């Protein structure tokens, strides 16, 4: 019922709107960590406007749009679930995908009623890979239970978290798996339309997805009367215009609606009133890509993998600081050390100073915590997270105060501006950290910084403001020696 | 409201340990008010959807755990977006909350210029007040203050100071949700975010003034009022707006005898808290230099200053012949008391029924009266009725221009409740933007369209009419009506479903179209036969009051046109113009000019100079509405009191007093002591006005039915 707003006011929100994705140098955290490998590129990145944060090429950080090198992909668990077909390009086209048991999950779903689909996802104990780890089955059930003849499936392909290039590879190498998953979801919750919200930084993924959609429509896996049933499902791609916060699900929905893409207050939740006010399932790409396997082999088989409350497998991506940068599928429950040292092979330059898992809205992990087991609750217990699964390592040369100034600059540039603490507090914190990297802050400034971080942490509307505070607080508590110039 | 409330599910919550029941889903920011508490807010506005932006309204929230103890959520929640649910425990007064609020306020102050001493909002600013109660004692972060454009003019009326803006979005949301013109939008993001006019054009809204009042800081200010005074220098009085017939409630701020500004005053029955720009900025004339302040009497070519006794004597002589030789015409903003005593003067002292308050091209006769003819009243609905009315039919009126506050209410019904609105008009109107159907007819085909809709309703079995009527409608086939009016047959078919049973809105403006009586009777018939309702609303501030007071020549007198014609042909010798400028009000300029030139004796009674003054034999200074006490009847027939705010200018008198003083000179009687006495007298001859006794006129006013 609201008028739709398009026009320069809404456009002015996005920073990549009129920007060609060529000759861009990345300013993301992984590239910050790896700046020593190529100081010239890094300094270009810092002076480039508008900035780009994370090109999804953290295995070659400092990255540029011109460097087309592809990452190493390897299965480091018993049987692959998510990276099956991602190691090479055999599943790019529908023929290859079908040869690898493609669309059989959807076939199975269509042989049962929607309730069966929801129940399988519940039994799998699959949790969201977009950051929060919310049980997927619960979300599907909620959309399924909300009455309404028009519902939507939205794939969150905005992969903004620095260090992660998982979703990018999933879409570039196995685009059909995402389409299959969305169709299964549509059948399960009762939706006939899916939208992939893809970030502008991933042009190759766009081409591959568009082609895959064409093929799937041609072969009858999308469109009307799928698999000879009366189930209809179509998929549309919406390209982001440059905004980190658009990865937050409600902001993302506003963006698709051409509204100002600011975060919506909840309730109502998207499962009840999402896209255009209709019940909507928003899931991350990797979350969705686990679903065809679950339908094919059963939720119980999926739940049998992993450990604790973290079931199935997880893709992790390691940045260029590692000896073996690349994308790996691992079982939940291995130790972080196993990932960093056995798989990653340790750092190219000396010892770890810290790593960050899952993007800039989570806490740092101290080397003394490397024996933590890789799982949602386990990581949470040490003030870190699984997040997206991108892992950025920092070597001994890292200056934490500069790092924090850089992250808060990112935070201020990307703040949607809706809520007071984040709109104004991120910039304030950046100013104080920048100052502290020159000379120590005085007592009053330290107090201010403390209060700014508290306000960010307790009063922000979404995870952007509060997550940044988590990051800073983790440095304060785990690396006090490094931030003596600003610790209150 | 009470009836609705009993059906709503209640939940048990506690606020700071006090248990209470509230409707399920009520926002906590509202629930706390039930205990007389207040949560500080900036972005929340009770009449708009909550957005949770400013984070000032944070509260701690808990729920009882299995052991019965309250478990608090790890983070505070915004009270303005938090719906009450069973078992919820709210804390508004904890140390954590105080710290968080202080933190939020400090951020806002960082970016705020703190130029309170020169800010128009100083003294009535939520930011100032919240800072005083919840804020830090001093603002730090001094080097961070922004430097942005100050005093950027958004429109003729509104100025934006970006340094003061706290990005709460109230102004933007007002234009999206309430006025619907979407004239403001946010640009950019993060700390650069700023409200601006859409595509940087002029802020063109019929309701722009409201954003000045809802801005929680002094970022949006009144260009006319800027720096004119500080709030604490002002005196303010509750008043009503007399610019149109909606009768909005306002605060009338004045200082040293001058009108300074008006602000919306809450009356849920009428304007809620809004005003339109025409009203809000339409009171400047009080301070004009061309106010009429003294009695003037013609001496040859010139009007010379005189006094009331001289004027009264001259008028007595000129009006002595009475009957059809004398006449009076009134304007839109005389009070009921003025109008009643005018009528009484003419009937009892001049033995004349030659008076009229109407200025439209067509003037309905006594026989046209719908009540007598069809048993139908011209006014059946209140403004508030349109909020819950599922179907509304606006006919021949540009509602946002003619009745702006009614327009807002109709729009609100659509926006909040999805009410269906059909607009029939010969020109584009603002209501088209949300209308379910727009019927754009050729000018002059109003009555054909109305008949066509009625005929179609009959055909579809939506309306029951006697055979004779059915017969007379037979020529109005959809095709014929479509040919005549230019409205497509399909549109007629779609519209008829929505207009059958609708609340119909038209205005006295319809009497300026061709065959208006047919149109009005057909629309009234359509409403009657489909269980809808019909309204033909008055437009001038007290036009409805004038009809109620009987300032129409139905006792055998001449109407406005005949009176003016009579002035030309010499039948009318003496004419009294009461608060009206015929050049502005009458459609025929030449007729007016000839009439005023020819009439022997012309009394012009006015509060400011007008086109008739040069022709006056006697010029009488009349107090303007806010300079006298009296009652006005708005378009929904709600009587409200307009109290005296300003002193009379010069020797001006209220019109009712002039009529009374003159009447006593002609034939002594006990005069009314004041307007309250006048109302008592009115009630005696017009019983429906008995409820409008001055003792009853507080609050929302009283509705006459
Ligand atoms: C600031 C912010 C940015 C986010 N960015 C992303 C993103 O880029 N990709 C993503 O999948 N989820 C992102 N999320 C998480 C989403 O809001 C949401 O939780 C997720 O899409 C849900 O999918 P899942 O349940 O499958 O994880 C972000 C959240 C926040 C607060
Ligand atoms: S925390 Fe930041 S990004 Fe999130 S809603 Fe607030 S301003 Fe927007
Ligand atoms: S101008 Fe006023 S109402 Fe508009 S966003 Fe700024 S502070 Fe809020
Ligand atoms: S009043 Fe609740 S967030 Fe602004």
pLDDT at B138: 58
Token pair for B523: 């629309």
pLDDT at A177: 98
Token pair for B153: 């003019």
pLDDT at A4: 47
Q: Is pLDDT above 90 for B132?
A: no
The ipTM estimated for the assembled molecules is 0.89
Mean pLDDT of B130-139: 73
d(CA A251, CA A231): 30
For residue B599, report the distance from its CA to the centre of ligand 3, in Å.
57
Same domain for A418 and A277: no
pLDDT at A3: 41
Q: Does B110 contact A at CB distance below 8 Å?
A: yes
Angle at B619 between CA B618 and CA B624, to 5 degrees: 150
Q: Which of A199, A170, A198, A194 is nearest to A182 (CA)?
A: A194
Atom of ligand 4 nearest to the CA of B54: 4
Q: Rounded to 10 degrees, what is the CA torsion of A368, A374, A380, A385?
A: 100
pLDDT bracket for residue B544 (50, 70, 90)? very high
Q: Is residue A312 part of a domain?
A: no
Mean pLDDT of B292-320: 97
Same domain for A413 and A357: no
pLDDT at B1: 37
* Per-residue pLDDT reduced to its tens digit, B601-653: 999 999 999 999 999 999 999 999 999 999 999 999 999 999 999 999 999 99
Distance of CA B286 to the CA centre of its chain: 19
Same domain for A172 and A61: no
Same domain for A282 and A172: yes
Beta-ladder partners of B71: B63
* Per-residue pLDDT reduced to its tens digit, B420-472: 999 999 999 999 999 999 999 999 999 999 999 999 999 999 999 999 999 99
pLDDT bracket for residue B112 (50, 70, 90)? confident
Ligand 1 pocket mutation, candidates A127, A200, A238, A249, criterion most atoms within 8 A of CB: A249
Query: Which alpha helices (H) appear in A196-335, and where do they start and end?
Result: 203-218, 249-256, 285-289, 291-297, 299-304
Q: Which secondary-structure segment (H or E) carries B469?
A: helix B467-473
Atom of ligand 2 nearest to the CA of A418: 7
pLDDT at B123: 77
Same domain for A92 and A13: no
Q: Which of B423, B445, B426, B449 is nearest to B434 (CA)?
A: B423
Domain boundary among A11, A34, A69: A69
Say how many CA atoms lie within 13 Å of B123 toward its Cβ: 10
Mean pLDDT of B246-271: 95
> Rounded to whole angstroms, what are the CA distances from B608 to B288, B289, B611, B619, B624?
8, 9, 10, 10, 9
Same domain for A153 and A283: yes
Say how many CA atoms lie within 13 Å of A224 toward its Cβ: 0
The CATH number of whichever domain residue A349 belongs to comes to 3.10.20.600
Q: Find tokens 């009555």 and name the residue.
A: B447
Q: Is pLDDT above 50 for B504?
A: yes
Mean per-residue pLDDT over chain B, rounded:
94
Q: Is pLDDT above 80 for B226?
A: no
Assign B703 to helix, strand or coil.
Answer: strand
Pocket of ligand 2 (CB under 6 A): A 245, 263, 415-419, 422-423, 460-462, 464-465
* Per-residue pLDDT reduced to its tens digit, A455-487: 999 999 999 999 999 999 999 999 999 999 998
Q: Is pLDDT above 60 for B142?
A: no
Q: Which residues of A touch B56 (CB under 8 A)?
A: 420
* Per-residue pLDDT reduced to its tens digit, B640-691: 999 999 999 999 999 999 999 999 999 999 999 999 999 999 999 999 999 9
Domain boundary among A304, A339, A359: A304
Q: Is residue A309 part of a domain?
A: no
Distance from B76 to chain A by nearest Cα, in Å? 7
Q: Is pLDDT above 60 for A5?
A: no
For residue A461, report the distance from its CA to the centre of ligand 4, in Å.
10
The CATH number of whichever domain residue A476 belongs to comes to 1.20.1440.230
Distance from A182 to chain B by nearest Cα, in Å? 31
Q: Is pLDDT above 80 for A327?
A: yes
Q: Residue B139's closest chain A neighbor by CA?
A: A448
Same domain for A132 and A1: no
Q: Is residue A141 part of a domain?
A: yes
Domain boundary among A336, A363, A395: A395
Same domain for A141 and A121: yes
**Cβ within 8 Å of A, B 165-224:** 166-167, 176, 180, 182, 185-193, 196, 198-199
Same domain for A235 and A296: yes
The CATH number of whichever domain residue A258 belongs to comes to 3.40.50.11540
Q: Is pLDDT above 70 for B143?
A: no
Q: Which residues of B touch A380 (CB under 8 A)?
A: none
Contact B121, B161 (CB under 8 A): no
Q: Is pLDDT above 70 for B227?
A: no
d(CA B704, CA A440): 75
Distance from B275 to chain A by nearest Cα, in Å? 23
Q: Does A267 contact B at CB distance below 8 Å?
A: yes
Total domains, chain A: 4
DSSP state of B372: H
For residue A198, report the distance from its CA to the centre of ligand 2, in Å.
21
Q: Is pLDDT above 80 for B111?
A: no
DSSP string, A100-136: TTTTHHHHHHHTS-HHHHHHHHHHHT-B-SSSS--BH
Q: Which of A9, A413, A431 sits opposite B190 (nearest CB)?
A: A413
Same domain for A279 and A158: yes
d(CA A446, CA A487): 6
For residue B419, report the distance from its CA to the centre of ligand 2, in Å.
35
Q: Is pLDDT above 90 for B139?
A: no
pLDDT at B541: 97
Mean pLDDT of B536-549: 98
For residue B187, report the distance from its CA to the centre of ligand 3, in Å.
13
Same domain for A145 and A274: yes
For residue B153, what are the contacts with CB-CB under 8 A and spacing of at least 6? B159, B160, B223
Q: Which of A250, A261, A248, A278 is nearest to A6 (CA)?
A: A261
Q: Which secondary-structure segment (H or E) carries A357?
A: strand A352-357
Domain that holds residue A80: 73-304
Give percent of chain B with pLDDT exceeding 70.
97
Q: Best interface-test mutation with B: which of A4, A244, A417 has the largest number of B CBs within 10 A?
A: A417
Q: Which of B39, B506, B48, B52 is nearest to B274 (CA)?
A: B48
Contact B168, B154 (CB under 8 A): no
User: Backbone dihedral region of A345: left (phi > 0), alpha (psi from -120 to 50 degrees) or beta?
Assistant: left
DSSP state of A43: H
Token pair for A433: 């950290």
Q: B129 vs A280, which has greater pLDDT? A: A280
> What strands, in cross-sheet order, belong to the sheet with B702-703?
B630-633, B638-642, B702-703
Mean pLDDT of A126-148: 96
Give percent of chain B with pLDDT exceeding 90.
87
Q: Is residue A359 part of a domain?
A: yes
Please tell me the pTM assigned to this model. 0.92
Assess whether the previous peptide bond of A25 is cis (omega < 30° from 0).
no
Least confident of A226-230, B108-112, B271-275, B309-313: B108-112
Same domain for A386 and A351: yes
Domains and CATH numbers, chain B: 2-93 (3.10.20.740), 104-222 (3.30.70.20), 234-287 (2.20.25.90), 296-357+551-703 (3.40.50.740), 366-537 (3.40.228.10)
């Amino acid at each position: 019922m609201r008028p739709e707003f398009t026009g320069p006011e809404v456009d002015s929100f996005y920073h990549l709107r009129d920007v060609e994705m060529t000759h861009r140098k990345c300013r993301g955290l992984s590239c910050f960590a790896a700046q020593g490998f190529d100081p010239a590129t890094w300094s270009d990145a810092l002076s480039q406007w508008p900035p780009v944060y994370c090109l999804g090429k953290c295995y070659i950080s400092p990255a540029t749009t011109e460097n087309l090198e592809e990452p190493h992909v390897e299965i480091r668990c018993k049987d692959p679930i998510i990276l099956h077909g991602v190691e090479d390009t055999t599943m790019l086209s529908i023929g290859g995908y079908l040869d690898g048991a493609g669309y059989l999950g959807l076939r199975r779903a269509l042989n049962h009623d929607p309730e069966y689909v929801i129940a399988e996802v519940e039994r799998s104990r699959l949790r969201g890979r977009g950051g929060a780890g919310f049980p997927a089955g619960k979300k599907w059930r909620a959309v399924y239970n909300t009455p309404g003849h028009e519902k939507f499936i939205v794939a969150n392909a905005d992969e903004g978290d620095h260090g992660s290039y998982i979703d990018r590879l999933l879409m570039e190498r196995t685009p059909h798996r995402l389409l299959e998953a969305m169709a299964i979801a549509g059948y399960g919750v009762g939706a006939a339309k899916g939208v992939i919200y893809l970030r502008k930084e991933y042009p190759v993924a766009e081409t591959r997805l568009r082609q895959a959609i064409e093929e799937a429509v041609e072969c009858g896996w999308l469109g009307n009367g799928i698999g000879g049933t009366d189930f209809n499902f179509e998929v549309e791609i919406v390209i982001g215009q440059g905004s980190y916060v658009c990865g937050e699900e409600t902001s993302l929905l506003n963006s698709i609606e051409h509204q100002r893409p600011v975060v919506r207050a909840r309730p109502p939740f998207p499962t009840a009133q999402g896209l255009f006010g209709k019940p909507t399932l928003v899931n991350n790409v990797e979350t969705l890509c686990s679903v065809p396997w679950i339908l094919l082999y059963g939720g119980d088989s999926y739940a049998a993998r992993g450990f604790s409350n973290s079931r199935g497998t997880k893709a992790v991506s390691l940045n260029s600081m590692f000896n073996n940068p690349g994308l790996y599928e691992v079982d939940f429950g291995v130790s972080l050390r196993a990932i960093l040292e056995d798989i990653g092979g340790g750092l190219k330059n000396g010892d770890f100073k810290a790593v960050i898992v899952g993007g800039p809205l989570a806490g740092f992990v101290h080397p003394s915590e490397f024996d933590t087991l890789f799982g949602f609750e386990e990581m949470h217990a040490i003030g870190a997270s699984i997040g997206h699964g991108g892992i950025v390592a920092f070597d001994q040369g890292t200056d934490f105060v500069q790092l924090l100034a850089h992250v808060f600059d990112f935070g201020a540039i990307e703040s949607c501006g809706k809520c007071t603490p984040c709109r104004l507090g991120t910039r304030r914190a950046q100013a104080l950290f920048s100052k502290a990297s020159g000379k120590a802050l005085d007592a009053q400034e330290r107090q201010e910084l403390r209060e700014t971080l508290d306000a960010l942490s307790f009063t922000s509307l979404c995870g952007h403001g509060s997550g940044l505070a988590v990051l800073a607080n983790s440095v304060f508590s785990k690396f006090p020696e490094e931030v003596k110039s600003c610790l209150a | 409201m009470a009836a609705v409330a009993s059906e709503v599910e209640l939940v048990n919550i506690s606020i700071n340990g006090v248990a209470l029941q509230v409707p399920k889903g009520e926002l906590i920011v509202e629930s706390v008010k039930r205990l007389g508490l207040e949560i500080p807010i900036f972005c929340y506005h009770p009449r708009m959807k909550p957005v949770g932006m400013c984070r000032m309204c944070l509260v701690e929230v808990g729920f009882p755990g299995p052991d019965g103890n309250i478990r608090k959520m790890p983070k505070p929640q915004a009270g303005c977006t938090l719906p009450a649910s069973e078992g919820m425990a709210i804390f508004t007064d904890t140390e954590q909350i105080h710290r968080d609020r202080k933190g939020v306020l400090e951020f806002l102050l960082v970016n705020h210029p703190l130029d309170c001493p020169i800010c128009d909002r100083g003294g009535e600013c939520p930011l100032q007040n919240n800072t005083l109660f919840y804020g830090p004692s001093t603002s730090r972060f001094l080097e961070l203050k922004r430097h942005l454009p100050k005093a950027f003019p958004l429109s003729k009326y509104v100025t934006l100071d970006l340094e003061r803006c706290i990005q709460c979005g109230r102004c933007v949301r007002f234009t999206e949700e309430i006025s619907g013109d979407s004239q403001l939008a946010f640009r950019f993001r993060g700390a650069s975010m700023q409200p601006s006019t859409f595509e940087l054009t002029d802020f063109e809204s019929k309701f722009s003034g409201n954003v000045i009042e809802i801005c929680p800081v002094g970022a949006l200010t009144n260009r006319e009022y800027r720096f004119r005074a500080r709030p604490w220098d002002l005196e303010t009085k509750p008043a009503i707006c007399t610019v149109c017939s909606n009768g909005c409630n306002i605060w009338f701020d004045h200082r040293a005898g001058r009108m300074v500004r008006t602000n919306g005053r809450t009356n849920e029955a009428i304007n809620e808290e809004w005003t339109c720009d025409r009203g809000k900025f339409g009171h400047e004339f009080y301070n004009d230099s061309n106010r009429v302040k003294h009695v003037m009497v013609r001496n040859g070519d010139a009007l010379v200053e005189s006094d009331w006794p001289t004027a009264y004597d001259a008028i007595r002589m000129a009006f002595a012949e009475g009957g059809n030789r004398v006449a009076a015409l009134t304007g839109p903003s005389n009070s009921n008391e003025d109008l009643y005593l005018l009528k009484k003067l003419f009937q009892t002292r001049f033995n004349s029924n030659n008076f009229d308050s109407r200025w439209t091209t067509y003037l309905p006769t006594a026989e046209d009266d719908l009540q007598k003819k069809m048993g139908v009243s011209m006014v059946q609905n209140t403004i508030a009725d349109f909020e819950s009315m599922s179907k509304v039919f606006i006919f021949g009126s540009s509602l946002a221009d003619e009745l702006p506050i009614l327009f807002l209410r109709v729009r609100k019904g659509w926006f909040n409740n999805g009410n269906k609105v059909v607009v029939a008009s010969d020109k584009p109107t603002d209501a088209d933007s949300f209308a379910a159907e727009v019927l754009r007819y050729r000018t002059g085909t109003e009555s054909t369209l109305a008949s066509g809709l009625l005929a179609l309703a009959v055909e579809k079995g939506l309306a029951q009419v006697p055979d004779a009527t059915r017969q007379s409608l037979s020529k109005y086939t959809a095709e014929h009506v479509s040919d005549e009016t230019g409205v497509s047959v399909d549109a007629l078919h779609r519209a008829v479903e929505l207009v059958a049973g609708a609340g119909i809105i038209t205005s006295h403006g319809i009497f300026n179209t061709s065959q208006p009586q047919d149109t009005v009777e057909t629309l009234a018939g359509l409403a009657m036969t489909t269980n809808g309702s019909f309204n033909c609303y008055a437009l001038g501030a007290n036009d409805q009051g004038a009809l109620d007071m009987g300032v129409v020549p139905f006792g055998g007198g001449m109407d406005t046109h005949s009176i003016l014609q009579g002035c030309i042909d010499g039948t009318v010798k003496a004419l009294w113009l009461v608060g009206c400028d015929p050049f502005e009000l009458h459609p025929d300029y030449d007729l007016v000019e000839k009439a005023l030139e020819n009439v022997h004796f012309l009394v012009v009674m006015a509060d400011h100079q007008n086109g008739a003054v040069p022709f006056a034999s006697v010029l009488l200074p009349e107090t303007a509405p806010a300079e006298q006490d009296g009652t006005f009847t708005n378009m929904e027939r709600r009587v409200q009191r307009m109290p005296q705010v300003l002193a009379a200018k010069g020797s001006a008198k209220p019109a009712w007093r002039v009529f009374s003083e003159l009447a006593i000179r002609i034939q002594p009687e006990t005069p009314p002591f004041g307007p309250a006495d006048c109302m008592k007298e009115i009630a005696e001859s017009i019983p429906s006005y008995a409820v409008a006794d001055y003792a009853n006129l507080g609050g929302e006013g009283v509705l006459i039915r």
